[in-house]
Amino acid sequence: MSNSQTYKLKYPLTWVDDEISEIIIPDRLKAKHLKAMDTGEGEIGKMISLLAELAKVPVSIMGDLDIVDMNALAEVIGDLLGESQETGEMS
């Protein structure tokens, strides 16, 4: 059973001397991932902050993410966020 999925960037990013060519997204988001969204302003800023947290890079680097990759990642994250709104049974 996989605990994550890997998205290969169509347009890799550069951070210091490293190339970031993929972003690993956990199959289940945790509260700590969502907390990172608090640092972003607006919907796009929140998504960039969340992606930076997942990729373990500064938000400024993730700000250079190509819109093609951003849209694809937003769809994956959106699916995970939708799942997080499912509620358990109350007794």
Residue 79 pLDDT level (bands cut at 50, 70, 90): confident
pLDDT tens figures, 48-71: 999 999 888 889 999 999 999 999
What pLDDT was estimated at residue 39? 92
What pLDDT was estimated at residue 69? 95
Q: Which residue has tokens 């169509």?
A: 10
13 phi, psi to nearest 5 deg? -100, 160
Residue 4 pLDDT level (bands cut at 50, 70, 90): confident
pTM over 0.85: no
What is the signed CA dihedral for 72, 78, 79, 80, rounded to 10 degrees?
110
State yes or no: pLDDT of 1 exceeds 50.
no
